[in-house]
Structure 1
Amino acid sequence: MTKLIDHRGNPIPWPSEQQLQTDESKLGHLKQHFAEHPSSGLTPVRLAAILRDAEQGNLISQCELAEDLEEKDGHIFSELQKRKLAMLNLTGRVAPPRNASEQEKKDAAWVQELLDEMPDFDDLVLDMADGVLKGFSNIELEWQRAGNDWFLGQAHYRPQSWFQLHPDDRNQIVLRDGSAKGAELQSFGWVRHIHRSRSGYPGRNGLARILSWPYLFKNYSVRDLAEFLEIYGLPLRLGKYPSGASDKEKSTLLQAVMSIGHNAGGIIPKGMEIDFQEAAKGAADPFEVMINWCERTQSKAILGGTLTSQADGKSSTNALGNVHNEIRQELRDSDLRQIAGSITRDLIFPLWMLNCKTAGDPRRAPRFVFDTSEPADLAHYSESLPPLVNMGMRIPLDWVHETLQIPTAEKDEEILTSAPTLPGMAPLAALKAQAVADADVVTQYTEQLQRVAQKPVTGMIDQIRDLVETANSLEAIRDGLLALDIPIEQLADAMSQALTVAGLAGRYELLQEAE
């Protein structure tokens, strides 16, 4: 059997078809671990202690707190779902190395086939995206074999609370096996994804550390709002007891005072009184302001903005919303690049090493990439490319297919062609075209001028529309119109062409009448 070594020259054990690393008897305690739900009774002092423990390598409480954030806060859950599910809308592929040989291309295609046979690949990507909140995500791989081919079976998501940081290297994540240093993750046995929202150790990368503080403040505000709504509008009940009243009489009076607001009735001993003071006054606005601030902060941390999450009714415009949506796309592309790197290292490289003829030099290994490019405007390129080709520009055909996201036809595959011209139809078509040109030349020139002026006019209209949507007064609209960058030169050129065409059209009509 061929001996495998890693990039450091250390031997790599071949994957096992039967046993997973977490199935070992010494790690059975991990499956008996249940979450402590540290968000219950969470205080600033307790939260600071949880975050400090994570920095020192104990990730259990921080990871369980992250799970509570996603379960208990509907806003956090919704925003995280938007960021995670955006990754599933794009497809990925196995790409050969640069300047690949024919054999390297064949090996990349074979790895793609093996990867396509993996069940629930989308679930794997979604599990890896869990690292956005918690900083990392580890998925254990189950290998299977058919003849000489190794392929991937199930991928098992493992809770982050099963892991810890190595005490001598806080960039290394190990299994909690009861020892101080933990158990290193087996090569070819895991997809180890560390998601970098910012620089730092894995224990400090996750968004949970940023979201936990607004989550705490929001909970305080929600609790205070609930208490306010419970007593708002109710009069203050004040019980009075005579001097010398016994403890039992005082207790009876207190019970009557507390229950009379809900029961609308009650009894008290003779000689005691209950006075109703003015109803409690106040407003819920301060609590709502605090809650809204916390949710906006959470949206900014997760999606980079707020206008794609909720509208405040004041500054939300279509233009600003588009800007924030572009920020979301940048986050999506960054997330997918990180996930693709982990898939290349822990899925594609093992499949290539175990199954392909060109396996050997890691620098020539295939890689996994997500297609994050947006399709180009087909109508625009169909108009601009033919003149450029006629000018002599050498435009690669592969670049056109990639830019327009049109797949290249395989050999013997049917392709689109222009409709054939029947014998005898070409002269008739030419005569018809000439007749149309003679009869309607003015209309044709008019349509051409409309196309020339369309772009500057559309740009001017878009500027005016954005100005009207964002302005808060007629004076602001007036000042904004004076400051607009109107394409005067383009409009002047269009008007000049229009006058020229009008003159030529008039001459044409005179010639027609003279004939």
Structure 2
Amino acid sequence: MASLRDWLNHIVNASSLKEMIAGPKIGGVRQVISGHPAEGLTPQRLASILRAAAQGEPEAYFELAEDIEERDLHYAAVMATRKRSVAQLPITVKAASDKPEHKKHAELVQTWIDSGVLRASLFDMLDAIGKGISVMEIDWQAQGGHLLPRKLIWRTPRWFTFDPDDGETVLLREGASGVPLLPHKFIVHRHKTKSGLTIRSGIARVALWAWMFKSFTTKDWAIFVQNYGQPIRIGKYGRGATEAEKDVLWRAVTGIAGDCAAIVPREMLIEFHEVGSKSSSTDMFERRADWLDRQVSKLVLGQTTTTDAISGGHAVSQEHRLVQEDIERADAGDVAGSVNEQVVYNIVAFNFGPQDAYPTVHIGRPDEVPLDKFADAFAKLAPQGLTASASYLRDRMGIPAPKKGDELVGGKAPSAAATGGDGGEPPKPKDETARQALDRLFSEPRLSLHASADPDPVDRLTARLEEEAADAMDGLVGEVRAALMAATDLRDAAGRLAALDLSADELAEAMARGMALAHLAGQASLMDELKKKAIEASTRRA
């Protein structure tokens, strides 16, 4: 296999699929060892790093963004929370249509999803949340007669830059200006916190300022604790003390802070002076650091309740959780879009050739009604006529179909009407005449004046007509079905239907019965109404 075609119908050299392109090179521009620009970071230096990144030199910015994930506990925690909330979501595949070939394409993609390659790579793909971009190199390998990604390898963003002409096209650092990426070899996932250039859209670009100010605060806090966390030691020596005696006293004063013990001559004196308002000064540093952490929580997670215990109760926490779920859904949709366009479509194209439509991967929880609400709604709507296939209900409830020989629990008990027992209407004789049907209909006081609480006569007559016509309709439909099933093609089916001698006598007889019953019921209702008015008139005269 010398060449293939990708989903855009471009010719792809098959040998390039297995070749690793973006790995590190000793002595080249792609070095494993990274710099640490966070050391001694100042506002002026941070501004210059961000400015250089926006102007096409993002390496220091990528290094700094990685630095703060290693140095700041809170930022590392909230970023990991956001990434893992998406990385553990269900992954499903939807076929392009119900055509057999489209289902076959979806089955191949599902096989690759089941291998776990994509799930293992989601966390690294979501590195774009912080840096704005994440690049994964695809290692294509033949597996079971199909060409599939064996691994998605994360490549540090330091090894990539952007085309200065448009500021968006990603280039591999190679040579003086960089080389374009082969589209079938890489997944370039972009995350946009705001509109604009990708390099200026990562969360880290905003979080860096909060981290720097917090680092200043914690440094000042450490100095304060070191200087004022313990009482000031003052050593006093006599007027005639020698230099050697002063040295002894000095070593005692300086050593007592760490050792908390010292010995001095009897004539020397050491005093401890407490510093007032230490607690209020310490609270100032803590409040400032906590405030900056809360701003980072809002930036990354959209809320603070899931990371900080604050007042507000259960209702507030539920609202904040909904905000986090909205962000999770958006992140999952962005990742699924990158995976579909840059991996899934090529999986199908490389194995089946370019197609008009492709299966799609969905990452996220299904937007479905909770099971308790679903079951309650269906229980209420089913008696009103709502129907659904048993397979759908079983899938929705997660209950597999029972196998032969399984012990069954539950199920619907047969009704008394179905078994002909007490409480049900007796089965209708097959050869019942219209007179017998009329006698049976009026054998119970359904239409009498004294049974006003019983069902409406019109409803009763409608149900009776449906029952009378059921056998006749089934006979007509059965003959048509048998003719169609026996036909070999459309022409044969047309001939068989034309040759049928369908008789509607039984249906006409049933309709006549229904009309007769309706006429008699109308007369009965009229007589009841006249009788009722006669009773009311006699009552008024009395």
TM-score scaled to structure 1, two decimals?
0.69
What's 2:374 paired with? 381
State the AA in 2 paired with 1:71.
E
What's 2:465 paired with? none
Does the aligned pair in 2 maintain the 1:22–1:28 contact within 8 Å?
A: no
In 1, the alpha carbon distance for the partners of 2:174 and 2:185 equals 17
User: Residues 377-423 of structure 1, C-alpha deviation per residue, up to 9 Å, x if partnerless?
Assistant: 33433343355344455x66599659946589799999998256599
In 2, the alpha carbon distance for the partners of 1:34 and 1:360 equals 43
Residues 410 and 203 from structure 1, CA distance in 2 versus in 1: closer, same or farther, beyond 3 angstroms? farther
Does the aligned pair in 2 maintain the 1:237–1:277 contact within 8 Å?
A: yes
In 2, the alpha carbon distance for the partners of 1:221 and 1:171 equals 36
Aligned partner (choices 133, 136, 143) of residue 133 of structure 2? 136
In 2, the alpha carbon distance for the partners of 1:339 and 1:5 equals 20
Aligned partner (choices 170, 175, 193) of residue 178 of structure 1? 175
Aligned partner (choices 152, 155, 168) of residue 152 of structure 2? 155
In 2, the alpha carbon distance for the partners of 1:156 and 1:210 equals 28
Matched, 1:334 2:330: yes
Deviation at 1:101?
A: 2.6
What's 2:355 paired with? 360
State the AA in 1 paired with 2:46.
L
Aligned partner (choices 93, 118, 121) of residue 121 of structure 1? 118
What's 1:55 paired with? 54
Deviation at 1:228?
A: 1.3
Residues 417 and 161 from structure 1, CA distance in 2 versus in 1: closer, same or farther, beyond 3 angstroms? same
In 2, the alpha carbon distance for the partners of 1:387 and 1:235 equals 75
Residues 292 and 11 from structure 1, CA distance in 2 versus in 1: closer, same or farther, beyond 3 angstroms? same
Residues 149 and 11 from structure 1, CA distance in 2 versus in 1: closer, same or farther, beyond 3 angstroms? same
Q: Look up the SS of the partner of 2:140 in the other structure.
A: strand
Matched, 1:43 2:48: no
Does the aligned pair in 2 maintain the 1:92–1:369 contact within 8 Å?
A: yes
Deviation at 1:175?
A: 0.9
Q: Look up the SS of the partner of 2:154 in the other structure.
A: strand
What's 1:300 paired with? 298
State the AA in 2 paired with 1:388.
L
**What is the correspondence of 1:107-506 to structure 2 with a 5 Å cutoff?**
107-117=105-115, 119-145=116-142, 149-180=146-177, 182-232=178-228, 234-236=230-232, 258-259=254-255, 261-262=257-258, 265=262, 279=275, 281-283=277-279, 284-312=282-310, 315-356=311-352, 359-361=354-356, 364-392=357-385, 404=396, 418=411
In 2, the alpha carbon distance for the partners of 1:18 and 1:91 equals 29
Deviation at 1:87?
A: 1.2
Does the aligned pair in 2 maintain the 1:143–1:152 contact within 8 Å?
A: yes
Q: Look up the SS of the partner of 2:14 in the other structure.
A: coil
Identical residues among aligned pairs (%): 28
User: Residues 278-323 of structure 1, C-alpha deviation per residue, up to 9 Å, x if partnerless?
Assistant: 64643301101100111101110111011111113xx331101000
In 1, the alpha carbon distance for the partners of 2:236 and 2:7 equals 83
Residues 260 and 125 from structure 1, CA distance in 2 versus in 1: closer, same or farther, beyond 3 angstroms? closer
Deviation at 1:340?
A: 0.1
User: Residues 344-391 of structure 1, C-alpha deviation per residue, up to 9 Å, x if partnerless?
Assistant: 01110110111126x333xx1221112423542334333433553444
Q: Look up the SS of the partner of 1:196 in the other structure.
A: coil
Matched, 1:4 2:1: no
Residues 397 and 424 from structure 1, CA distance in 2 versus in 1: closer, same or farther, beyond 3 angstroms? closer
In 2, the alpha carbon distance for the partners of 1:163 and 1:226 equals 38
Q: Which runs of 5+ in 2 are unaligned?
A: 425-542
Deviation at 1:254?
A: 7.7
State the AA in 1 paired with 2:375.
S
Does the aligned pair in 1 maintain the 2:235–2:253 contact within 8 Å?
A: yes
In 2, the alpha carbon distance for the partners of 1:233 and 1:155 equals 51
State the AA in 2 paired with 1:366.
P
What's 1:64 paired with? 63
Does the aligned pair in 1 maintain the 2:141–2:149 contact within 8 Å?
A: yes
Please identify, of 85-94 and 303-312, the stretch whose mean Cα deviation from structure 2 is larger. 85-94
Deviation at 1:56?
A: 1.2
Q: Which runs of 5+ in 1 are unaligned?
A: 432-515
User: Residues 444-472 of structure 1, C-alpha deviation per residue, up to 9 Å, x if partnerless?
Assistant: xxxxxxxxxxxxxxxxxxxxxxxxxxxxx
State the AA in 2 paired with 1:338.
D
In 2, the alpha carbon distance for the partners of 1:412 and 1:206 equals 57
Q: Look up the SS of the partner of 1:93 in the other structure.
A: strand
What's 2:481 paired with? none
What's 2:463 paired with? none
Q: Look up the SS of the partner of 1:218 in the other structure.
A: helix
Please identify, of 278-287 and 183-192, the stretch whose mean Cα deviation from structure 2 is larger. 278-287
Q: CA RMSD in A?
A: 4.2
State the AA in 1 paired with 2:87.
L
